[in-house]
Amino acid sequence: MLFRITVSKLFRLIKSMTKSEKRYFKLFCTNSNKRGDKYLELFDYLDKQKKVDVKAYKKQLSRIKNLSAVQTYLYELILQSLELQQTQKNSDTYLLDGIKQVELLFERGLILEAKELVLALEKYAQEREKWLMLPLVNYWWFRIENINLRYKDISRTDFEQKKENGKKEMAALHESLTWWQFFSDFVFTIQNSVARNQKEFIQTWMSLLKKYEVYEWKSLGAKLAWLQLRAILESYKRDKPMAKKYWMEIVTEVQTASPQLRKEYKRFVNPSLFSAINNTTSVDGIDSLTMLIEQLEKIMNEEKEYRMKAGVIVLKHQLFIKQERFAMARDFALAQDLEWTTVAPHLKLSFYKNIALNFWAMQDFNNALVYVDKVLEEMEESIHSLQGLAMLLKAILYYEKGEMLLLPHMLQAIKRQLRKENILFKFEQLLLSFLLKLVNLSKPEHLDAFRAFRLTYLAFVDTLEEREEREFLAFFNYEGWLDSHVNKTPFQKVFPNF
């Protein structure tokens, strides 16, 4: 491998596999004489674990010599197995293999069989919008007819229709290539943008979209990606009606697409629907969110895409919270038995954070702290923003719980940890200093302190120009928390907007 394979990396790869992928891998190993039992033993051991315990792992498998090399080779074997399975499922590979078979039949004079296969490939490719392959299939239809069959059973109408289809396929191929040029242009320009503020950034985005909006995208994947870009741009511009329009167009496109197209473009379909679900809540009511989740579940059931289940669970939990059904949200979240080791880390940690806030809304501070600690225990180095948030939430929860004797020690420990992780920024210093100030004030003085800090907080936010500098605001509504104290509003009432 080009990078070092640790047991944690191997564990995550194994846990990302579906049951069918694991079954295939075991057959893949068993059917090859070069594979030893030690690879399957290591695979089975890690597959049964809920969490990696490196000491227990080394002790259990101590009799395997050169364990580090074995786990590296196992990682490679798994990737080979997954690649082979993907090749068997890939529609492009299926069509390329089919075209090779047409050529073999043609060279052996099996013309009728070659034509029958061409017609089957054409239907398969059309159902899946495989514009790159269709011209090749079309080429073989004309070649077979021109050289051997001489259009014996083809009417003038059918012949003209075939020519027209060929023109449409070439036009669709050109559109597909244009789309990828646009998307590449977009990614390159945005990545290398020197915009000094959000306004310039939006103008750059708009100019790119305008350059390509003359095209009427026919491919489902291109349509969904285009609509997402438009919706996100309108959200940046804070034009909620237009953002809602584009998000709902995504849902319509998915609803009206055939099962074959949804399967072919699921790498576009599922993320697009997730974006619609996540963003529609900010531009529309609860009914739309309910409908979107139902639509996503329906498609997941059709396509057997169970890895998306975690996303639906997180979104359903958010739906119950937005409806202020906190007990139902809590019971729903705690009833889930999903294997979270297979889930993307940011999704799992967001779920734990939301459960913590759910308990907070119900004034169950002890359990809220339990789930904040889960976030910290599961934290990976790549998600520092959530790590800092979890520490700040822990400090706030200690205040809400009334732990004034323990709070100063907690604040000092958090400050040290944030400094150690290089994530002690200005806002973190402001909030920690404010909480420490509250410890030294009498309870009646807290209201004035909250009012003063609210003004300090708003002034600080106004100084942040770049979107990246405001990232911490996306995880928790600090202003809402301050308002709940200033206006003496129960946290349960402001929580749905968090």
Average pLDDT of the residues of the chain: 79
Rounded to whole angstroms, how far apart are CA atoms 463 and 435? 22
User: Sign (positive/negative) of CA torsion 370, 372, 376, 380?
Assistant: positive
Please tell me the number of Cα atoms within 13 Å of 405 on its side-chain side. Answer: 0
Burial group, residue 1, by CB count within 10 angstroms (0-12, 13-18, 19+)? exposed
* Per-residue exposure over 392-428, b if at least 16 CB sit within 10 Å of its own CB, e if not: bbbbbbbbbbebeeebeebbeebbeebeeeebbeebb
Q: How far is CA 46 from the centre of its chain?
A: 25
pLDDT at 81 over 70: yes
Rounded to whole angstroms, how far apart are CA atoms 441 and 404? 10
State what percent of residues in the chain have pLDDT above 70.
80
pLDDT at 498 over 60: no
Rounded to whole angstroms, how far apart are CA atoms 492 and 360? 8
Q: Count CB-CB contacts under 10 A for residue 358.
A: 25
Rounded to whole angstroms, how far apart are CA atoms 376 and 349? 9
pLDDT at position 406, please? 92
Burial group, residue 357, by CB count within 10 angstroms (0-12, 13-18, 19+)? buried
Tokens representing 268 are 């576009």
> Can you give the pTM of this predicted structure?
0.59
pLDDT confidence band for 147 (50 / 70 / 90): confident
- In angstroms and rounded to an integer, the radius of gyration of the C-alpha atoms of the chain is 28
Average pLDDT of span 19-25 = 85
Q: Which long-range contacts (CB under 8 A, 24 or more apart) does 356-361 make?
A: 356/393, 356/397, 357/321, 357/495, 357/498, 358/317, 358/321, 358/326, 358/329, 358/330, 358/333, 359/330, 360/397, 360/400, 360/491, 360/495, 361/321, 361/326, 361/491, 361/492, 361/495
pLDDT at position 385, please? 60
Average pLDDT of span 301-311 = 63
Rounded to whole angstroms, how far apart are CA atoms 490 and 470? 26
pLDDT at 375 over 90: no
pLDDT at 381 over 50: no
pLDDT at position 153, please? 80
Non-local CB neighbours of 86 within 8 Å, separated by 6+ positions: none
pLDDT at position 402, please? 92
Average pLDDT of span 251-277 = 77
Tokens representing 391 are 């520490």
pLDDT at 46 over 90: no
Please give the backbone phi and psi of residue 395, each rounded to the nearest 5 degrees, phi first: -65, -45
Rounded to whole angstroms, how far apart are CA atoms 377 and 17? 24
| Lowest-pLDDT range of 151-165, 192-206, 219-233, 433-447 | 192-206
pLDDT confidence band for 2 (50 / 70 / 90): low
* Per-residue exposure over 73-104, b if at least 16 CB sit within 10 Å of its own CB, e if not: bbbebbeebbeebeeeeebeebbeebbeebee
| Lowest-pLDDT range of 192-196, 229-233, 462-466 | 192-196
- Separation of first and last alpha carbons in the chain: 43
pLDDT at position 340, please? 61
| Lowest-pLDDT range of 20-24, 63-67, 110-114 | 63-67
pLDDT at position 283, please? 46
| Lowest-pLDDT range of 148-162, 177-191, 270-284, 468-482 | 270-284
Rounded to whole angstroms, how far apart are CA atoms 123 and 134? 10
pLDDT at 487 over 50: yes
Query: For 177-220, what is each residue's pLDDT tens digit?
Result: 777 777 777 767 766 655 455 566 677 777 777 766 666 667 78
pLDDT confidence band for 382 (50 / 70 / 90): very low
pLDDT confidence band for 229 (50 / 70 / 90): confident
Average pLDDT of span 261-271 = 74
pLDDT at 446 over 90: yes
Average pLDDT of span 77-93 = 75
pLDDT at position 318, please? 82
| Of the candidates 300, 318, 298, 317, the residue with the CA atom closest to the CA atom of residue 309 | 300
pLDDT at position 285, please? 52
Query: Do the beta carbons of residue 1 and residue 62 sit within 8 Å?
Result: no
Report which of residues 370 and 465 the model is more confident about. Answer: 370
Tokens representing 162 are 């075939």
Rounded to whole angstroms, how far apart are CA atoms 325 and 492? 10
| Lowest-pLDDT range of 95-99, 118-122, 452-456 | 95-99
pLDDT at 96 over 60: yes
- Beta strand residue intervals within 177-307, DSSP E: none
pLDDT at position 85, please? 73
As a whole number of angstroms, the longest Cα–Cα distance in the chain is 98
